[in-house]
Amino acid sequence: MPELERISATRIIAAPDALNTLRRPMLMRVAADEAIVIGSFEESLAGDPHAIIQPETGFMGVWLSADFARSFLERACEWEPPPVTPAFAQGSVAGIPAKLWFERDRVLFLVPAPYAHDFEERIA
């Protein structure tokens, strides 16, 4: 059974124009005014002095092979995964709000830590 681990990330809430200038690997744009960056983010955000930049440990995640992920998503996901990689997508997966980062050979599943236990049971 895949086990989820707490993921260290940074959440950035800022003006959309300021977020549009952000260039980082694995940048997950979860909303017009919100982005999640895996790992730390030490700098301030140019263009928005009022941005909220917070270390985030509220997500747990696991990397799964692309084949396993495809098979799991086929039975657990009522929306179509993106056809190209790398790509970010989010929505309900097995009834749990999830954020997914798709790469060619693997997929990162992120879920809010309070639901990680249920997600592990459902992915098994």
Partner 1 sequence: MSGDCPHCLATINGVSYVRTCQTQATAGMIVDRHPEHGAPPIGNLGHGPAVTARNLFCDTVVIGMGKSGRAAAEEAERTGVRVVRLDAANGQEVIGIYPGPLVAARTAEGMLHVHVAKEIVVATGAADIQPVAPGNHLPGILTARAAALLSSAGIELGRVVELNEPPVRFEGSDRVEAVVVLNDRGAEHRIPCDTVAVKLGFQPRDGLSRMGQGLPVRTVGSAARASDIPPCPNAGTVCPCSGVTVADLESVWDRGFRDLELVKRATLAGTGTCQGSVCVPHIRSFIAARGENLQPPFTARPMNKQATMAEVAAGVWHHPTARTALDEEHRRLGAQMERMGGWWRPWTYGRPLEEYWAVREAVSLGDVSTLGKMLVSGPGALALLEHLYPTKIESLKPGRSRYVLLLDERGYVLDDGMVCRESDTRFYVTFTSAGSTHAELWVRDWAETLALDVRLLNQTMSVSAINVTGPLATQLLERAGVNDPPEYLQHKFADVAGVRCRIMRLSFTGEVSYELHHPAGDSAALWRKLLALGGDLGIKPHGLETLMKLRLEKGHIVVGQDTDFDSTPRRIGHEWAVKLDKPDFVGRQAVLRTNKIQLDRQLAGFEMEGDPPPEGALIWSGADYAGYVTSSAFSPALGKSVMLGWLKRFADRLPDELTIQGKPARRVATPFYDPEGTRARA
Residues binding partner 1 (CB under 8 A) = 6, 8, 11, 13-15, 33-34, 48, 50-52, 54-59, 73-80, 92, 94-96, 112-119, 122
Closest distance to partner 1 from the beta carbon of 51 (Å): 6
Q: Are 21 and 90 in contact (CB under 8 A)?
A: no
Closest distance to partner 1 from the beta carbon of 28 (Å): 15
CA 87 to centroid of chain Cα atoms? 10
Closest distance to partner 1 from the beta carbon of 56 (Å): 5
93 closest CA partner among 56, 65, 66, 122: 122
Closest distance to partner 1 from the beta carbon of 2 (Å): 17
Please give the full DSSP string across 39-72, using - where no structure is assigned.
S---S--TT-TT-EEEEEEEEEEEEEEHHHHHHH
